[in-house]
Amino acid sequence: MDVLQLITLLLLVSAGISYINQRFIKLPGTIGIVAISVVISVIIVIVGKTNNELAAKIREASDSMNFSSILLDVMLGFLLFASALHFDYQKLRKQQWPVFALSTLGVLLSTFLFGIFLYYLAGLFGINLPLIYCFIFGALISPTDPIAVGSILKRSKISEKLSTVIAGESLFNDAVGLLVFILLLELVQKPGVVISFNTIAGLIIHEVLGGIVIGLAIGYVGYMLIKSIKDFQTILLISIALVLGISMLAGYFHASVPLVAVTAGLIIGNNSFHEDKVSDDFLLRIWKLIDEVLNTILFVMIGLQMVAMPFLREYWLLSLFAIMIILIARIISVSLPALFLLGKVNFNNLFILSWAGLRGGISIAMALSLPDSPYKEGILSGCYFIVLFSIIVQGLSLNKLITVLKDREA
């Protein structure tokens, strides 16, 4: 299947699922799209058992859609740039320490706790999963997904303070998760390698500092270019070109795409171009539309990944463990930084922060990028079910949880 056919198929399916949800089912956008996509995937799998030719064609189309590459190399920059463009930097500054603690210490704690808990629990039930792979699983599933979080928070009744902390954490914690993921993969792929201080420092300089510097440069250049004109078409073309340049430059300098995109988006989105703010409003509106369209396509892809994973049924027990453990690890990794920073824990806020920590496509993309091994399918299955659980179950119940907790406070 060529690129044009693949894009056409994705757009047709995305438009159809979005229409069905809005016209008949009326679930919140992200949740409805994922749920319908999963149902379609289940139907396809069932039909495929009786029609091998159809199943082969569907699997061929799914294989042509390199989810990991499409998301990490193409869509991620667009989605994160759009999210950061609409993020209020002044609100972020007020919550900078909670955001910093959760996006760094919280991810590291969650990775460690998830790995330890999964290793011993899997061992009790005779599931063979080496400790290093448990930690790798923890690293790719611990960061909350900015795309999933952002799409759910849009309709949430959560307080402004908590919303800023959750959204801010999700924007920045991918960089930490990716760093840990890369370091652990080095240990697996090169068994004799020793992770030294120089190795970690080099990664931080390239990925983190490099990402921030490139993001600052791209953001400043983009801002100055847009500020010098008022033609809407040119403004749109410049912004799209900047985002495409983010992936290219980040790849060339081995910098973090999430940090480059977020930094550039914050600079452009939090500075006014002209006194009449017409250009500002146009850019925000058009990128909100781009964000929503790409979100729809992304979550359709997540739901349809079930077709490409015929091994899911073989790892249901491991997946169940993974869901329970990530919830426990999330609660602990949120509580300890809060206790460290504030000296106390607000249990209502703790539960909201924990339950609002959604996982999404980035985790699946990282799992798909794992090198082939006897453990890849188990990790991928567990990751996929965690993502579905977080988007559908946690996403659907988040507002109810917030309402119950706020009523208790009253």
Residue 53 pLDDT > 70, yes or no?
no
Q: In this predicted model, which residue has the larger pLDDT, 128 or 313?
A: 128
> Which fold does the domain 3-408 belong to in CATH?
Na+/H+ antiporter like fold (1.20.1530)
Q: Which two tokens stand for residue 24?
A: 């008949």
Residue 400 has a pLDDT of 87
Residue 24 has a pLDDT of 93
Residue 310 has a pLDDT of 72
Q: Which is nearest to 139 in space by CA: 165, 176, 167?
A: 176
Q: Which is nearest to 301 in space by CA: 62, 137, 100?
A: 62
Residue 328 has a pLDDT of 96
Q: In this predicted model, which residue has the larger pLDDT, 175 or 265?
A: 265
DSSP string, 234-278: HHHHHHHHHHHHHHHHHHHTT--HHHHHHHHHHHHHTS-SSTT-H
pLDDT in tens, 101-137: 999 999 999 999 999 999 999 999 999 999 999 999 9
Percent of the chain with pLDDT over 70: 92
Quote the CA–CA distance of 330 and 143 in Å, as a whole number: 10
The most confident of 6-20, 169-183, 289-303, 317-331, by mean pLDDT: 317-331
146, 240, 307, 315, 341 from 63: Cα distances, Å: 26, 28, 10, 21, 46
Residue 49 pLDDT > 70, yes or no?
no
Residue 50 pLDDT > 60, yes or no?
no
CB burial class (10 A; 0-12, 13-18, 19+) of residue 198? exposed
Number of H helices, E strands in the chain: 21, 0
83, 164, 244, 389 from 285: Cα distances, Å: 12, 21, 19, 31
Q: Which two tokens stand for residue 66?
A: 């390199």
Q: Which two tokens stand for residue 156?
A: 């949430």
Please count the CA atoms within 13 angstroms of the CA of 366 that sit on its side-chain side. 28
**Where exactly are the structural domains of the chain?**
3-408
Residue 399 pLDDT > 60, yes or no?
yes
Q: In this predicted model, which residue has the larger pLDDT, 347 or 21?
A: 21
pLDDT in tens, 192-214: 666 677 777 888 888 899 999 99
Handedness of CA 29, 32, 36, 37 (dihedral sign): positive
Q: Which residues contact 331 (CB under 8 A, 6 or more apart)?
A: 350, 354
Cβ atoms of residues 148 and 357 within 8 Å: no
Residues 315-351 as b/e (b if ≥16 CB within 10 A, e otherwise) read beebbebbeebbbebbbbbbbbbbeeeeeeeeebbbb
| Phi and psi at residue 251, to the nearest 5° | -65, -40
Quote the CA–CA distance of 400 and 51 in Å, as a whole number: 42
Residue 344 Rama label (left phi>0; alpha psi -120 to 50; beta): beta
Average pLDDT, the chain: 88
pLDDT in tens, 357-381: 999 889 999 999 999 999 999 999 9
Cβ atoms of residues 157 and 403 within 8 Å: yes
Q: Which two tokens stand for residue 242?
A: 């900047």
**Residues comprising the chain, all counted:** 410
